[in-house]
């Protein structure tokens, strides 16, 4: 097999959470372009159907399934549906995440903690568990978690979000160590600022002009001089999903434009 062919995903079934927009949408489109059959998951079916239509128009196959990736009963039903419908699962991308609500350590309440932890960490763990059971019975697979540069360096006013993303990095390593014996590889991508709804939620409370100015100031702190677009993460995910990364597990890929080299993120 040629080197470039190792990046192909033909014949593989991939499940992407948070697939209706942002990084999840970019991953789903990239996987479909590489030949995978893609299961699209998020809470709103109409949004998923639009993505499925995009994939269909480019000649790919996609299946939208509405699911809340932070609710245990819905995760369980999703795993059952995947196994019954497709009979296999080769790739899982744990991308679904909740907006990092702006609140200080002193002001965060239990409800906020539970909403962020349940989706960003608990749901990721148990969806991975269900997916790994399917993968184990079919000879292996690839699990790709989406953490954040905030998992390395806490961001002011989004402490709970930062805590969960640090935990996702450790969850990746724990899963990788245990699941390697079943040929299940587990890796994590850690984006810096990406032009998504989660990033833009930092400035929802500001007038539009001020929000744009603050986003521009953030870009100036990044060595590459700009905020990333979601599509710029798809290549790393295709690598981790494909046979090109057959000897890669427990790895962290930081995709931050050099942000971690540049010092503290400005506080607003």
The residues, any chain, with a CB within 8 Å of residue 135's CB and separated by 6 or more, are 89, 90, 141, 143, 182, 184
Q: In angstroms, how far is CA 2 from the centroid of its own chain?
A: 28
15, two tokens: 């499940």
Contact in structure between 82 and 89 (CB atoms under 8 Å): yes
Task: Let me know if 239 is a catalytic residue.
Answer: no
DSSP state, residue 100: -
DSSP state, residue 153: S
| Active-site choice (161, 182, 239, 247) | 161
Q: How far is CA 30 from CA 24, 58, 89, 135, in A?
A: 10, 11, 17, 21
Residues noted as catalytic: 161
């Amino acid at each position: 097999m040629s080197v470039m062919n190792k990046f192909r995903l033909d014949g593989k079934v991939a499940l992407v959470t948070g697939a209706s927009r942002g990084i999840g949408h970019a991953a789903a489109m990239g996987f479909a372009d590489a030949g995978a059959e893609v299961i699209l998951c998020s809470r709103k079916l109409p949004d998923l159907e639009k993505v499925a239509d995009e994939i269909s128009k480019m000649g790919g196959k996609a299946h939208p399934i509405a699911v809340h990736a932070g609710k245990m009963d819905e995760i369980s039903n999703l795993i059952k549906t995947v196994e019954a419908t497709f009979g296999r699962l080769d790739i899982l991308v744990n991308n679904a995440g909740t907006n990092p609500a702006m609140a200080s350590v002193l002001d965060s309440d239990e409800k906020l903690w539970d909403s962020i932890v349940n989706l960003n960490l608990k749901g990721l763990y148990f969806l991975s568990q269900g997916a790994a059971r399917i993968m184990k019975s079919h000879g292996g697979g690839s699990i790709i978690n989406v953490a954040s540069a905030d998992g390395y360096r806490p961001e002011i006013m989004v402490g709970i979000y930062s805590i969960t993303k640090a935990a996702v990095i450790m969850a990746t390593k724990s899963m990788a160590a245990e699941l390697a014996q079943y040929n299940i590889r587990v890796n994590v991508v850690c984006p810096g600022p990406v032009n998504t709804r989660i990033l833009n939620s930092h400035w929802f409370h500001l007038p539009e002009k001020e929000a744009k100015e603050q986003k521009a100031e953030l870009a100036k702190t990044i060595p590459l001089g700009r905020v990333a677009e979601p599509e710029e993460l798809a290549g790393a995910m295709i690598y981790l999903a494909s046979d090109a990364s057959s000897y890669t597990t427990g790895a962290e890929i930081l995709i931050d434009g050099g942000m971690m080299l540049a010092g503290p993120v400005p506080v607003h």
